[in-house]
């Protein structure tokens, strides 16, 4: 499928800005895709989703959106959604549903600094592989009243199937990263760290941990100790100490694989190490479909003011291209973004600058087309 996408004459992308700053930053990603030399031709299919759409129509993820993505699109981009913190009858997060509907089982979140900036002091170069379909996100919650007042419960589901496939994805990403560093860092040892809390949750996190380990052990056993993953170091870390170590010694983390909720939390925490959540991209990856999505949310406090950072969305577009097999244009985008960050002239307020969303986007476009 990656090859099929890479050879498609026109790449049809479903575009879902959704809510808040998603509406401001996704068009920037679209313009960058359209103007990157070496990128395929795009046809953008604009699709509805989000809380604002729910408020207007009663549906946060219309059936037509899912159908168009499944039947008419090679890939997609999602902006951000404003899910309220209280229960709203009939509303359910469209992004959580979309990941399941399209079986985008891996949320790949690279958190990487920029060389030649203050990031050099403690350089971060990690990727968090977040399981994207289960854990507490199956959203099986109940509430009833009892002698202690109201009792609310949530079921957390971890399956061997989902944990095994996310484990495989983590090892494959580790190998791909090693390949990329073959000439610049020949002594680089890829490391996969399993993030869990199986000292307390020995059944659910225990299954996640043993399933990921199982991928590694089976590969070694089936190949007499000389399997595909032979050169990868396998570590594990309790989620709480992982957050601590991330801040103390981020350089020890290469590929981190985590159940859904821990993956979400750890990647937001890691974003602080590179300066802003506004910089961190992700791709929701299935076996046949890839959807770019900035890690940040809809930021209602700054929405509509033209000061949102477009970089996470622009990098997400590049990440989506990369996973579809278009590595050269993806690299052009990454390089242009890094150059703009390094120069520091067109940074948005989250990075201490005063540039608008458009000024930052234009600076990136200028580098790409120079």
- Piece of the chain touching ligand GGG by CB under 6 A; list 77-85, 174-182, 230-238, 357-365: 77-85
Which residues within the stretch 270-329 sit at the binding site for ligand GGG (CB under 6 A)? 293-294, 296-297
Say whether residue 110 binds ligand GGG (CB under 6 A).
Answer: no
Q: What are residue 191's DSSP bridge partners?
A: 233
14 binds ligand GGG per the rule CB under 6 A: no
Which region, judged by CB under 6 A, interacts with ligand GGG, from 92-100, 164-172, 176-184, 196-204? 92-100
Spell out, one character per residue from 245 to 264, where the chain touches ligand GGG: x when CB under 6 A holds, - when not.
-------------------x
Q: How far is the CB of 103 from ligand GGG (least distance, A)?
A: 16
Minimum distance of ligand GGG from residue 264's CB (angstroms): 5
> Does 24 interact with ligand GGG (rule: CB under 6 A)?
no
In 293-331, which positions are buried (b, 16+ CB within 10 angstroms) versus exposed (e)? bbbbbbbeebbeeebbbbbbbbbbbbbbbbbbbbeebbe
Contact residue for ligand GGG among 36, 80, 237, 267 (CB under 6 A): 80
Q: Which is nearer to ligand GGG, 74 or 296 (CB)?
A: 296
25 binds ligand GGG (CB under 6 A): no
Q: Interaction with ligand GGG in 185-224: which residues (CB under 6 A)?
A: none
**239-246 contacts at long range (C-beta below 8 A, 24 or more positions apart):** 239/195, 239/196, 239/197, 239/265, 239/266, 240/197, 242/193, 242/195, 242/266, 243/269, 246/270, 246/273
# binding residues, ligand GGG (CB under 6 A)? 11
**Residue partners of 237: CB distance under 8 A and separation at least 6:** 193, 194, 195, 245
Q: Cα dist. 239→154, 161, 193, 203, 209 in Å?
A: 20, 22, 11, 16, 12
Residue 83 touching ligand GGG (CB under 6 A): yes
Q: Which is nearer to ligand GGG, 5 or 93 (CB)?
A: 93
Residue of 93, 163, 276, 348 interacting with ligand GGG (CB under 6 A): 93
Helical packing angle, 22-35 and 311-324, nearest 10°? 50
Which residue's Cβ has the minimum distance to ligand GGG? 80
The stretches of the chain forming alpha helices (DSSP H) are 2-6, 22-35, 51-57, 63-72, 94-101, 160-180, 204-222, 239-248, 260-273, 311-324, 327-343, 357-369
Per CB under 6 A, residues contacting ligand GGG are 80-81, 83, 93, 95-96, 264, 293-294, 296-297
């Amino acid at each position: 499928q990656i090859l099929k996408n890479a050879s498609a004459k026109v790449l049809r992308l479903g575009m879902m800005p959704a809510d808040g700053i998603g509406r401001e930053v996704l068009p920037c990603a679209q313009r960058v895709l359209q103007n990157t030399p070496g990128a395929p031709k795009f046809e953008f299919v604009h699709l509805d989703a989000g809380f604002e759409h729910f408020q207007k129509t009663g549906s946060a993820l219309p059936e037509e959106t899912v159908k168009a993505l499944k039947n008419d699109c090679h890939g997609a981009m999602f902006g951000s959604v404003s899910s309220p913190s209280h229960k709203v009858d009939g509303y359910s997060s469209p992004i959580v549903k979309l990941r399941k509907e399209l079986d985008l089982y891996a949320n790949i979140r690279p958190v990487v600094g920029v060389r030649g900036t203050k990031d050099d002091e403690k350089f971060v170069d990690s990727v968090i592989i977040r399981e994207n379909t289960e854990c507490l996100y199956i959203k099986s919650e109940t509430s009833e009243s009892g002698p202690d007042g109201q009792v609310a419960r949530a079921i957390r589901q971890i399956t061997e199937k989902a944990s095994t496939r996310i484990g495989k994805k983590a090892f494959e990403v580790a190998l791909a990263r090693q390949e990329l560093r073959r000439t610049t860092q020949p002594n680089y040892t890829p490391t996969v760290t399993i993030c869990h809390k199986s000292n307390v949750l020995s059944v659910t996190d225990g299954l996640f941990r043993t399933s990921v380990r199982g991928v590694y052990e089976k590969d070694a056993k089936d190949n007499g100790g000389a399997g595909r993953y032979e050169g990868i170091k396998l570590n594990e870390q309790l989620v709480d100490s992982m957050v601590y170590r991330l801040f103390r010694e981020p350089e020890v983390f290469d590929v981190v694989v985590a159940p859904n909720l821990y993956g979400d939390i750890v990647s937001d925490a890691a974003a602080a190490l590179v300066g802003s959540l506004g910089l961190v991209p992700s791709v929701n990856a299935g076996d046949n479909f890839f959807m770019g999505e900035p890690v940040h949310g809809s930021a209602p406090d700054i929405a509509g003011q033209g000061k949102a950072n477009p970089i996470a969305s622009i990098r997400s577009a590049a990440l989506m291209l990369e996973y579809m097999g278009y590595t050269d244009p993806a690299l052009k985008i990454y390089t242009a973004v890094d150059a703009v960050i390094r120069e520091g002239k067109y940074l948005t307020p989250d990075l201490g600058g005063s540039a608008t969303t458009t000024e930052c986007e234009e600076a990136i476009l200028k580098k790409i087309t120079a």
